[in-house]
Structure formats: C-alpha cells, structure tokens
C-alpha cells in the first residue's frame, strides 16, 4: 500500500482562523480527506473479506462483521457494501489505476462502472476514459458496452439507462437509483439473458438476508455441480 498517497491528515485549526484563505483551504482539504477515507475504508473492507480477517475478530462471516459495523458505528449497510465494492475493484485493478494516476479526486463512483466498460471496451482506452471522462460521460460510455452476444446476433445491450433484449426495450432503469441498485438490476438482467442464450431455466429463491444468501450459494453451487455432472445427490 506504499503507493497509495490518498490520505492527508489535516489540523482543524482552520475552524478558529480569521484568514479566509486558510479557512477555504481547510474546507477543500477536508473534502479531499472524506473522499480519500471512502476509498481507504473500501480497501480495508476488501482485505477483511478476502483475507477472512473477520474470523480473527471473532465474527463467523463478513456479513456478521458488516452488521456489527452498521450497528455500532451507525452507518447504513448500503454504504458499507458500496465502499467494499470500491475497495475490491481498486485492488483488482490497482496496477492499472496507479499507472494512470487515478485518485480520490477523479470521482471514485466511476469505479463502479469500470468492469462493465471493460466487457467490450479496449483496455487502454477504457482506463484513459476512466481518468479523463466526467462521471456521467463514463457512465454512458460503460452503458454503451454490449453485454452479451450470440454469434453475430445481438442478445442484449445497454444504452444509457435502457436494457434491450434482441433489439427490443426490456428494462428502463430509473436514473434516480443509486449505483448499487443500478448494478443489482443489471446483474439480474445479465443472468436472465445468459439463461435465455443457453436455453436454461432460472429458479428464484427468496432469502431473508445476505447471510442466508451466502450459505445458500455454497450449497447451490455444490448441488448444481452434482446434477450437471450426473452424480447422485
């Protein structure tokens, strides 16, 4: 983490200052620290998850750790998950992001759209756009990527906030939804299109929380492997 120069520890002396320039600079530095702390927290959360540090903290799962954070620190669960997502993406593409000089000043929320943009976008161009485009422009650039194709026949495509299936409008996503909600819907749509492409079947299972979902996913993967492998359950 030596190359992550994203924290700027500031004194709060500017609160009592009579110097307008110092007050203004203090405000700007504080804003930068807030953005930096968002990424730092995300990276730390990603490590807790990937290295299973939560076990050493006496939590049985990442879900239990996050729920404890939310309860004890008074933070919304959706914010924790969004920061976790940011951290995971940053660590996955850390070398590329450091190469282009991406930092907390470049709109961290653009990272939510990076993998979607990389689906069909040329890698070098995609990272250059991530660095240079505004949040809205990069979101539209990522949204223009064709998500699924079958031969030369387009199966699904995302244009702006609209998802198309075989050239027909299938889903229109409300632009007022946040990044997490938008990504949730898009991922669900991709599962639908993948099943259609493979002439498969989707089974919907309602679970009460993320902890149940994590446990169910493990068993579901095992059962599917046995069924598709022709083995007996």
List per-residue pLDDT tens for the chain, 233 residues long.
444 444 444 455 666 677 777 777 777 776 666 666 888 888 889 999 999 998 998 888 888 888 888 888 888 887 888 888 888 999 999 999 989 988 777 788 888 888 888 877 788 899 999 999 887 788 778 766 544 443 434 445 666 667 777 777 888 888 777 767 777 787 777 777 777 777 778 877 888 876 777 677 777 777 777 776 654 44
Structure tokens at 100: 């282009």
Does 181 map to a domain?
no
Spatial contact of 63 and 133, defined as CB atoms under 8 Å apart = no
Q: What sign does the CA torsion over 162, 138, 88, 124 have? A: positive
Do 36 and 106 lie in one domain? The reply is no
3 and 35 share a domain? yes
The partner residues of 138 in beta bridges, in order of sequence, read none
Is 100 domain-assigned?
yes
**Strand ranges (DSSP E) for the chain?**
148-150, 153-159, 162-165, 168-172
Q: The sheet that has 168-172: what strands, in order across it?
A: 148-150, 153-159, 162-165, 168-172
- CB neighbours of residue 108 within 10 Å: 22
Output the pLDDT for position 93: 92
Question: Can you give the pLDDT at residue 148?
Answer: 45
224 part of a folded domain: no
Quote the tokens at residue 149. 């194709």
Domain range spanning residue 17?
A: 1-90
- Total domains in the chain come to 2
Residues 37 and 99: their CA atoms lie apart, in Å, by: 21
Asked if the structure places residue 165 within a domain, the reply is: no
Rounded CA gap, 117 and 126, in Å?
7
């Amino acid at each position: 983490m030596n190359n992550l120069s994203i924290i700027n520890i500031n004194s709060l002396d500017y609160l009592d200052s009579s110097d307008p320039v110092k007050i203004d600079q203090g405000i700007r530095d504080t804003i930068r620290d807030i953005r930096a702390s968002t990424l730092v927290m995300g990276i730390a959360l990603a490590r807790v998850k990937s290295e299973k540090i939560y076990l050493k903290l006496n939590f049985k799962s990442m879900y239990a750790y996050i729920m404890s954070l939310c309860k004890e620190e008074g933070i919304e669960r959706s914010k924790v998950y969004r920061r976790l997502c940011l951290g995971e993406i940053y660590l996955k593409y850390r070398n590329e992001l450091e190469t282009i000089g991406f930092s907390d000043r470049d709109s961290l929320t653009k990272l939510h759209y990076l993998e979607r943009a990389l689906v069909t976008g040329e890698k070098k161009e995609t990272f250059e756009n991530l660095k240079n485009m505004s949040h809205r422009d990069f979101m539209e650039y990522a949204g223009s990527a064709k998500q699924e194709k079958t031969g030369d026949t387009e199966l699904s495509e995302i244009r702006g906030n609209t998802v198309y299936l075989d050239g027909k409008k299938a889903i229109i996503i409300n632009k007022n939804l946040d990044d997490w909600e938008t990504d949730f819907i898009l991922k669900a749509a991709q599962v639908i299109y993948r099943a259609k492409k493979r002439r498969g079947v989707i089974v919907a299972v309602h679970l009460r929380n993320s902890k149940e979902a994590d446990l169910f996913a493990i068993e579901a993967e095992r059962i599917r492997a046995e069924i598709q492998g022709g083995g007996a359950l």
